Each structure stands twice: as structure tokens, then as C-alpha cells.
Chains A and B, each alone.
Chain A
Amino acid sequence: MTKLLSYLSLVLLLSSCFHLDSPPEFPKTSEGYRPIYANADEIEKVLITTPQPLKSPGKIYIKDQFLFVNELGKGVHIFDNKDPKSPKKIAFLQIPSNVDIAIRGDILYADNLKDLISINISKPSEAKLVHRLKDVFESQNYPPTTNVRFECVDSNKGVVIGWEKVLQVDYTLNCYR
């Protein structure tokens, strides 16, 4: 019996050495991720504003003569594209952490971190939030990819709205997944 126990403990000891989640040794300069934080109450600030400068264009979408261009993590630029030779900026739809949209009729659906929001855009320059479906999307608490090092999430700093790539040498990337 004692023999069996000692064998078992040996097996346990050995298996702990080969723990699958142990991070591989990365060179100091390898890439990693750092969370981008925002205040929880800032995230739900969805509103229509005057046109904003196009800085980091993301995905594009069209409906009727309108062109929608995502500003990465910030919202959606709305253009009147009746004449593709001279698209005209109409307004900016501020949606923090937004990446994707889809439009059915005159309702625009967008991701707003973990929520799915519906916005009436029948008059794009007077767009209005009409519905918020809470907590339907995955949290951003992990980087967009696996097998990477990242700075551990600290909930005291706010809510994670995205991740930025960094060189490991710049930060303490003490988490791994």
C-alpha cells in the first residue's frame, strides 16, 4: 500500500513537471499583448456626433447610398456615397470598442464590448440608440490569440476594451494563454 502511494506521488510529481500550461521560454524581445482599459461607464456612451477625422479605418459596410467605415475601437464614420467620386462625411457614430456592424432596414446592429446595440439610422445624422442587449458577447479579458504572453488584467484599472501588441522587453508580461 505504501509502495503504491509512493508510486502515485512520484507520478504526480512528474506530471507537475510536464504541466501543459507552462509557458515556453520566449526570447526577451518576442511580442506580447497589453490590455487597453476604459471606465465601465464610458463604454456605454453611444452617441451621434459631427464628422470626425478618419484615423484607423477598420471594416466597411454599405446600405443604400451610404458607406459606413469603422474607426477601430471608437465607432463608425457615416458617408453619403451617392457619388462615389466624392463621398461626403455626414456624421460619426461613437460606439466605444466597436469592431463590427450589420444593417437590416434602417436599424444598425453593433457590438459595444459585451453588448449588442441597435441604432435607428433612418436619418443617419440623427441616429438614435433604440435597444441594448446586455452581456451577449465574449469578454475581452484575453488577447485575441492563444499561445502568447500578456500583461495580466487588473480589474481595478477598468474594463478591458481591447489589446495592443507590445514587445515583451517593454512590459512585464506575466500572464500566458
Chain B
Amino acid sequence: MKKTQLLYCIWGLICLQSCQQTANDSVSPFGNGTGGSMARFTLGDGYLYTVGNSNMSIFDIKNTSPQKIKTINLGFGLETIYPYKDMLFIGSNTGMKIFNSQDPANPVLLSTYTHILSCDPVVVQDNYAYVTLRSGTGCQRGVNSLDIVNISNPSSPILVKSIPMKNPHGLAVDGKNLFICEGSFGLKSFDLSDPVNPVEKEFLTDVVSYDVILNQQKLIVTGQNGIYQYDYSDPKTLKLLSKIPIE
């Protein structure tokens, strides 16, 4: 009797193990993935939002055959889209547009925060939007800065502060951590204990960086030289975990 029980037990364990393995090899049918601040695609509840050069398109993806339900023209120079709570933030080379997406099929434009012609992704945490402005070919008159915009009233965003940067691209925020990709200049980390006073902690000048994603105290950064991953659980220093080099 005992022997049979033991055998069942072992058999059960083997089953569990194999289940575990299949689960580890496959992508879960639930939940949404996470993109970076430079993304032109983002997800809402059953909807996919995409931004082209001059418009935002909304796709219903609840069924296996997606349908385009709407295209909203927003003028030339759109660059990025970022979701936060029930809002969508669109970065364009003339400013940032804020949409209310409570009704995910019908986002409503709340406001446009205009700045000097520049390129700009945006991320948001609590009452503040962090917008990087960079100069480049598509934005000849651009400046290089980090703009902190108070969006506690999303219908009327107010610039709080503009901090000079070198050539900022993507960025990411998580609690007291703010990371900014400075293009070929490197990757910067900031202490954001005070949401309007980021204090620079580290500047990794050898990490060419274009965009960054944060996930469970780990940072993934992409750039011309490859993909770097860091652990940022230690508030003082980024710990390199791995680098996927260019081949």
C-alpha cells in the first residue's frame, strides 16, 4: 500500500514537473506585455492603439480577427504613445497630447501641451509627465531637455521644470527611479524621491541607449551596441546582469 502511494506520489511529481516545463516554454494566454517609451503601439482593454506620422488608429482586438474602428488625425510629427491609468499620452514633435481613454473605443482629446519643435517620448507617474525633448534630423530646431509637466489636471498641463540633457531618447520611471537614454552619450539614472527634482546618480557613458524597459527591479536597455540588462534594486549603483552583443 505504502509502496503504491509512493509511486503515485512520484508519478504526480513527474507530471507537475512536465507541466511546469511546458508552462515555462510558452507564452501565457493572459495579460498584456510591456513596451518602452518609444513605442508606437500600445494596448488598452481589448484595444490596440497605434500612431503613424499623422494619426492614431484604434483596433478592436477582442476577437481573433482585429478590426480597425477609428482613425483620428492629429497633425504631422507623431512619435510615441504611452498608456497611464485611463489616459493615453502621445508624444509628437510639437508637443504632448493627452487623451482620456475611459471609453477605450473612443479616446477623447483632453489637452495638447505644446513646446518648441523637438522629438519627444513621454512617461507618466502620479501627477507628473516626464517628457524628453531632443534635437535631430526630424526636429532641426530642437533642444535637448527633460521637461517635467504637472498633469494633475490633465485638461491643463503645466510645465514645472525643464532640465538640460545631452540627446535624450527613451525613458522609464519606477517609484524613486528615473532612467533616461542619452543616445550615443550613454544611460543616466536619477533619484526621483522628489518627483520634480531628479538628482543624477549615475551616467554610464559606454552604454549607447535608445529605449529602456523596467520590470521587477530590472532594467533592459536597447541601443546600437546591443541589449544590456541591469539590476537596480541597489539604489546607488546599477548592477550589470548581461549584455547581448551585436553580431
Q: Name A residues whose Cβ lies closer than 8 Å to a Cβ of B.
A: 31, 53-69, 79, 81-82, 84-87, 99-107, 109, 111, 116, 118, 121-124, 130-131, 133, 136-138, 144-148, 165
Contact indicator B211/A104 (Cβ below 8 Å): no
Measured between beta carbons, the chain B residues less than 8 angstroms from A31 are: 137
Partner of A65, one of B24, B40, B213: B24
Measured between beta carbons, the chain A residues less than 8 angstroms from B57 are: 136-137
Instruction: A159 to B35: give the CA distance in the assembly, Å.
Output: 29
Partner of B137, one of A68, A131, A145: A145
Measured between beta carbons, the chain B residues less than 8 angstroms from A66 are: 27
Contact indicator B215/A106 (Cβ below 8 Å): no
Q: A106-B27, A116-B59, A131-B66 are in contact. Are A59 and B223 (CB under 8 A)?
A: no
Size of the chain B interface, CB-CB below 8 angstroms: 57
Contact indicator B64/A131 (Cβ below 8 Å): yes
Instruction: A106 to B33: give the CA distance in the assembly, Å.
Output: 9
Measured between beta carbons, the chain A residues less than 8 angstroms from B39 are: 59, 61, 100, 102
Contact indicator B137/A100 (Cβ below 8 Å): no
Measured between beta carbons, the chain A residues less than 8 angstroms from B52 are: 137-138
Instruction: A147 to B230: give the CA distance in the assembly, Å.
Output: 40
Which of B6-14, B42-50, B158-166 is the contact stretch? B42-50
B25 CB to nearest A CB, Å:
7
Contact indicator A54/B41 (Cβ below 8 Å): no
Residue of A nearest to B47 (CB): A104
15 CB < 8 A contacts A-B: A57-B222, A58-B210, A59-B36, A59-B210, A59-B211, A60-B227, A61-B33, A99-B40, A102-B32, A105-B32, A107-B61, A109-B48, A116-B50, A118-B64, A133-B66
Digitize B53-91: 1 where CB-to-A-CB distance is under 8 Å, 0 elsewhere.
Answer: 111010101001111100000001100000000000000
Contact indicator B35/A102 (Cβ below 8 Å): yes
Contact indicator A62/B32 (Cβ below 8 Å): no
Partner of B241, one of A63, A85, A136, A145: A85
Q: A122-B27, A165-B137 are in contact. Are A79 and B53 (CB under 8 A)?
A: no
Instruction: A55 to B246: give the CA distance in the assembly, Å.
Output: 5
The 3 closest A-B pairs by CB, nearest first: A63-B33, A53-B247, A103-B33
Measured between beta carbons, the chain B residues less than 8 angstroms from A67 are: 220, 227
Instruction: A57 to B210: give the CA distance in the assembly, Å.
Output: 9
B225 CB to nearest A CB, Å:
9
Residue of B nearest to A143 (CB): B138
Measured between beta carbons, the chain B residues less than 8 angstroms from A136 are: 57, 59, 68
Contact indicator A109/B222 (Cβ below 8 Å): no
Q: A59-B36, A122-B29, A137-B50 are in contact. Are A102 and B137 (CB under 8 A)?
A: no
Measured between beta carbons, the chain B residues less than 8 angstroms from A69 are: 222, 227, 244
